[in-house]
Structure 1
Amino acid sequence: MISIFRKKEYLIDHLQGITDIHNHILPGIDDGAQNVEDSVKLLEKFKDLGISKFIATPHIMNDYYPNTPQSINTALNLLKVEIKKNENLKNTEIRFAAEYMMDQNFLDLMKSEQLLALKDNMVLVEMSYFQAPINLNEILFKLQTKGYKPVLAHPERYAFYHAKDLNKYQELKNRGCLFQLNILSLTSHYGGNMQKIASKLLENGMIDFIGSDAHRIQHIEKQSTIKLERKPLKYLKEVISRTKDQF
């Protein structure tokens, strides 16, 4: 006899062993962890969920977080000192990249230095939540001319792209953008519209990778309670598998 009761599936059961490719766990350099103690608490909470590999991606945003490879490396080294003291974190692996705001400063950085990539030529980028940069096409063109592959952080959170169809998103895909979904966008954490668009992007096979975008411990705690809906489950599993394979 087939039971009518299905075992509930939780997202965290599928995330164990993944590399979190988008987070703000480094101490004191952006709007994430404010100090080393905060960073350690974040890592311990991640470990409880079976995640111990990270690509730290602090903001590089000229007016607010003018980080450099040097400032990011300094923050990581500070954290590594504390990790070595903590037996519970002995298997933690962290390397760093960045989350770049696509603005004029980003164009200047492309001219003057090598960008911090997630892996190989993949660079994590974002835009304002209010509007896309007016020179977005120029930025994407120059980024790819330099040999980089743009990975757009949390495309589901850009409300100015929300519509009944996904044409604006398809245009970005046609311009060579990969898409990284925020885990909490599978819930109403950022709002119901963001959750709906996240599901549509998943179901249309447009999401390439997944990441936490964790800034504080509450973000990680919420991840552990996410139940998987049957409709986008197949596509979500494919995205998780691709993220594990790539990173």
Structure 2
Amino acid sequence: MFNFFTKRNKITDISWLGIDMHSHILPGIDDGSPDVFTSLRFVRALQNLGFCHSIATPHIFKELHPNNFETIDRAKSELDLAITNAGINFKLESAAEYMIDQDFNLEATICSLQNKYLLIEMSYLNESPNIIQQIFNVGIKGYKPILAHPERYIFYFKDHSKVKLFKEKGCLLQLNLLSITGYYGKEVKQLADYLLKENMYDLAGTDLHHDKHLSTLSNAVESGKLYELIGQYPFKNKEIFG
């Protein structure tokens, strides 16, 4: 049984979000989990926190992580088998997190979330020069774009107008759960706070890569802090991906 309430009535699990739609838990294909053993440990930990469903989104970034449908599907099959053999009741899906750069290719086989949504990212240091056009292109192809962790892009720290433009263009926004804890720094948290206040986020995800992420997330959830901060925000994870 999950410890839903402590003596202070703090909610110390994350079943209120339920579905993690952004993580790097597939084994050995990007800068996330290095092997099946670690991936399985991450799955157990996510389940213990209250997640019942995860959509793994490894990077597709030609320069560093040149993944494609085949590499992602193979890694997912390995983890699926390990989950089954371990007797864990956990739903695993896979998609990808696409880097919007000169190599982004919508003509390739698309690794989308539930064949409808496309998770995209940019360099943290420099905005992709054609990002609005690429968002438009994604829509023309029949997919709904989701911009990963907008709060982490340093070029939006002092200029929020472009983030608002994304929303106007129909792009969904996804919060990294660790951003709101201050894990990535003060300015990231400040932008996340602003976007939450303006009700601009649609989704939230762990963006889980490694044990330090997991430890920080676990502490935030199990202390009740994460729920206090964002537990009542109307994230659409269950509505969209449930």
Name the TM-score, length of structure 2 as normaliser. 0.88
Residue matched to 2:125: 130
Say if 2:216 is the partner of 1:211. Answer: no
2-side partners of 1:34 and 1:120: how far apart? 27
Runs of 4+ residues deviating >3 angstroms: 6-10, 14-17
2:141 to 139, 142, 146: 146
Asked which structure has the greater CA Rg, the reply is 1
- Unpaired stretches in structure 2, ≥5 consecutive residues: 1-6
Tell me the SS of whatever aligns to 1:152.
strand
CA distance in 2, matches of 1:162, 1:192: 10
1:31 matched residue in structure 2: 31
CA shift at 1:154, angstroms? 0.3
The aligned residue for residue 94 of structure 1 is 92
Q: Which amino acid aligns with 1:47?
A: Q
The offset of 1:229, in angstroms, is 7.8
Q: Does 2:220 correspond to 1:222?
A: no
Q: TM-score, normalised by structure 1?
A: 0.87
Structure 2 partner of 1:3:
none
Query: Counterpart amino acid of 2:203?
Result: F
Percent identity over the alignment is 38
Q: Tell me how far apart the structure 2 counterparts of residues 205 and 61 of structure 1 sit (CA, whole Å).
A: 30
SS of 2:28's equivalent in the other structure is coil
CA contact (8 A) 2:178 2:217 kept: yes
Pairwise CA distance, 1:228: 4.3
CA deviation string 1:29-80 (max 9, x = no partner):
0000001111011111112112131111000001111101111011111112
Residues of 1 paired with 2:160 and 2:130: CA distance? 21
Unaligned 5+ runs, structure 1: 1-5
User: Whose helix proportion is higher, 1 or 2?
Assistant: 1
Cα separation, 1, equivalents of 2:51 and 2:84: 17
Alignment of 1:27-176 (within 5 A): 27-87=27-87, 89=88, 91-106=89-104, 109-111=105-107, 113-163=108-158, 166-176=160-170
Q: Quick one: distance in 1 between partners of 2:29 and 2:197?
A: 36
**Distance change >3 Å, CA 74–CA 208, structure 1 → 2:** same
Q: Does the CA contact (< 8 Å) of 1:14 and 1:237 recur in 2?
A: no
* Matching residue's letter, 2:97: E
Superposed CA RMSD in Å reads 2.0
